[in-house]
Structure 1
Amino acid sequence: MTIKLRPIALALPFTLLLAACGRGEDGAKEPPPPTVTVARIEQRALEGGLSASGRLIPREEVAVAPELSGYRIARVLVEEDARVGAGQVLAVLDDTLLRSQIDQARAQLSQQQVAYEKARMEAGRVAGLDNQGVLSQEAIDQRRIAARSAQAAVGVAKAQLDDLLTRQRRLIVRSPVAGRVLQRSARPGEPSASGTVLFTIARDDLVELDAEVAEAAMGTLAIGDPAVVTLASGAKINGRVRLLGARVDNQTGLSRARIALPVSPDLRPGGFAQASFVKESTAVLAAPEKAVHYDADGAYMLLLDKGDRVHRVSVRTGRRAAGMVEILSGAKPGGRAVLGGGAFLLEGDRVRTAPGGRT
């Protein structure tokens, strides 16, 4: 009986040799580097890009309070949201008690005027009689002093009457400015109290946005910069930066910008609004927003060197617009920043860029 060798026995060593060629020295197959997309950091123009939100507030809020206490509020003539003029009557206090005091003061003034007239006539009769022996000099001086005293009494009575009349005028509560009534707390029948606010008025009906702005962005704003304010209703109003905050809150790291707005019935103090600051186009160092990542240490970017190795750098950002963000520090023009696929990259990792992923 004849036994024949099978050809597969000769091919087995060759197959094992080919398998070994596809493994590393440790026998494990080396995975390919991860693929990422990148973008160039370069100078480009940004239109505006900075936004901030806050509350609508009156530019100047005027508190109106009565100057006298203890008088009952007789009438209230305006309601909340009313437009009032400077000097317009807002409320009237009851002057019943004051009127009787005024009548009494007028009567006292009349009495003092009569007494003064009598004393003046008596002093006139001794005019020119000094040192003539008709009357003693003491008697002459007494008449003249009595006339001056009566004249002074008239002045006191008149001042007392004027004080009461002034008080009576102060019982009419008037608006010191023109504007819009934001709040009314006056109610008929309640007693007045000096210093208790009855009305709150927005002077000239001017309302502006008190926007909170990040410290890093404050340097990009200037007085007079245009801004577009979007209200909670979706309405948009054009305004301008009127005032920039002089300090930064040490807890939030935010400063404030006041944005002046035109008079509009849609602006209600206390409402929420958002502002977009429209700056002229300027060339700044910028990168796509997707290239900037954030963690507990702040903003950072993953940049590639010439050998396509990853290096993490901390950056400081500024304005944003159309998907781009301004890079204030931490990166240089021409750098390649990782856009996608970088969630698990570590310092020094080697990567390869996706086809068409270089910009």
Structure 2
Amino acid sequence: MNYETKVDLADTRDGVLLEGDPEAEAARAKRRKMWTIVGVIVVGALVALWLLTRGEETVPFAAGEDSTTPRVTVVSPGAGTIQGYINATGTLAARREMPVGVVGEGGRVVSVAVEPGDWVRAGQVLAVIDRSVQNQQASAQEAQINVAQADADLAQANLDRALQLVERGFISQADIDRLTATRDAAVARVEVARAQLAERRARNAQLNIVAPAAGLVLTRNVEPGQVVSPGSGTLFSIARGGEMELLARIGEVELGAVNVGATGLVTPVGTDQQFTCQVWQKSPVIDELTRQGTARCALSYDPALRPGGFASIEMASQAVVAPRLPESAIMSDDRGSYVYIIDDENLVVRRDVELGMISDEGIAVASGLQGDERVVLRAGGFLTEGETVRPVTETAQ
């Protein structure tokens, strides 16, 4: 007799599910999932703990402290030499701009010899004014000299004849004196005529508009055919020697820190070129409205430097010895700027400070700190004066 023996894959022994039982597989999967979740939670807790402490050294509790005492990061900034820099803006201009106009009596412009951007030498003719009438006047003056010279020659001849006759008694001494005076007057008229001719020629020479010194022509405000006179204003403007300057507008405090002779870097708007300049003069007055003064910075000629253009400048100022702190350590309220320091008893103390120069490395503290204090580096806004904390020192950069 054949019996089919059906072997069940699931056999329970002592309450343990054997392998092959679906319920056993489900139980094992559930346990793996649970352990995975527990592992994730543990790792997350460790990461959160690291983020909170940021790798800071664990500080043991001091006497009277408990686990609720807040921990703050502090730094002793010390004091170092800080090279000051001043950034400002200003307008480019000719260092010595020479306005050129009509010197003589004026007239109709015949020709103009230069254009803006041309270099000229001292005495070079810039424009010529018609002098046809003045030339005729000069010719007339030359003729007057000849007339006066002829009268002087005649007066001298009469005097010579009279001197020969006076010895014979035909002419009195009074006649001699009269003839001598006539001769002297005629000679004087010759000198007057010559002076008038020289004046006329000098006036004619002034009809040419010339450059008073060598330099670069900046503007031209005259055209051929134009009638000009001494009241016509500036016809040409010339930068003497082509020298330029930047009129930098600087606050009155910073202006006092700039020394004559200090150098700076000028960057004209619209270009990335930089030019070295030197402060040669500081304004003796301060604008009452803007509270700014002008530092005049000399520049050598370059085509990229155009008078009237806008430019920025960075120049070195006086170096100072002071502590320097990051911006996160500085706070302010209606009483001014201040920092929190931690005293010997680990209490938070407010310290009012006066700020100095600001740079990429931090903010200089002009007064209020010696540099050896423990200054709260960050999160000072969450502290109150007199609060007890646990300071963690961070090395000053």
Q: Which has the higher contact order (CA 8 A, sep 6+)?
A: 1
Aligned in 2, Cα 1:350/1:73: closer, same or farther, shift over 3 Å? farther
Q: Secondary structure at the match of 2:209?
A: strand
More deviation, 48-57/156-165: 48-57
* Residue matched to 1:224: 261
Output the amino acid matched with 1:197.
T
Q: Deviation digits for residues 31-66 of structure 1, max 9, x if unmatched?
A: x89887665443123344322221112111111111
Output the amino acid matched with 2:97.
E
* Residue matched to 1:215: 252
Please report the TM-score for the alignment, with normalisation by the length of structure 2. Answer: 0.72
Structure 2 Cα separation of the partners of residues 345 and 201 of structure 1: 63
1:1-359 equivalences under 5 Å are: 39-127=75-163, 129-130=165-166, 132-195=168-231, 196-232=233-269, 233-278=271-316, 283-292=321-330, 300-306=337-343, 307-309=346-348, 311=350, 313-318=352-357, 320-336=358-374, 340-341=378-379, 348=385, 350=387, 359=396
Q: Deviation digits for residues 293-336 of structure 1, max 9, x if unmatched?
A: 67788x62333342453626251423x43332333234432345
Structure 2 Cα separation of the partners of residues 100 and 296 of structure 1: 83
How far residue 281 of structure 1 moved from its aligned partner, in angstroms, is: 6.9
Aligned in 2, Cα 1:206/1:109: closer, same or farther, shift over 3 Å? same
Aligned in 2, Cα 1:35/1:265: closer, same or farther, shift over 3 Å? farther
2:109–2:226 CA contact under 8 A, matched in 1? yes
For these two proteins, the number of residue pairs brought into alignment is 325
Q: Deviation digits for residues 210-269 of structure 1, max 9, x if unmatched?
A: 112222223432222222222221111122222223233232222222222222221111
* Residue matched to 2:30: none
Q: Deviation digits for residues 144-174 of structure 1, max 9, x if unmatched?
A: 1111111111111111111111110001111
Structure 2 Cα separation of the partners of residues 102 and 33 of structure 1: 105
Output the amino acid matched with 2:204.
Q
How far residue 72 of structure 1 moved from its aligned partner, in angstroms, is: 1.2
Larger radius of gyration: 2
How far residue 176 of structure 1 moved from its aligned partner, in angstroms, is: 0.6
Structure 1 Cα separation of the partners of residues 237 and 334 of structure 2: 45
More deviation, 253-262/42-51: 42-51
Structure 2 Cα separation of the partners of residues 48 and 138 of structure 1: 92
Q: Secondary structure at the match of 1:106?
A: helix
Please report the TM-score for the alignment, with normalisation by the length of structure 1. Answer: 0.79
Structure 1 Cα separation of the partners of residues 165 and 69 of structure 2: 129
Output the amino acid matched with 2:302.
S
Aligned in 2, Cα 1:272/1:36: closer, same or farther, shift over 3 Å? farther
- Percentage of pairs with the same residue: 30
* Residue matched to 2:42: none
| Structure (1/2) with the larger helix percentage | 2
What stretches of structure 1 of length at least 5 have no aligned partner?
1-31
What stretches of structure 2 of length at least 5 have no aligned partner?
1-67
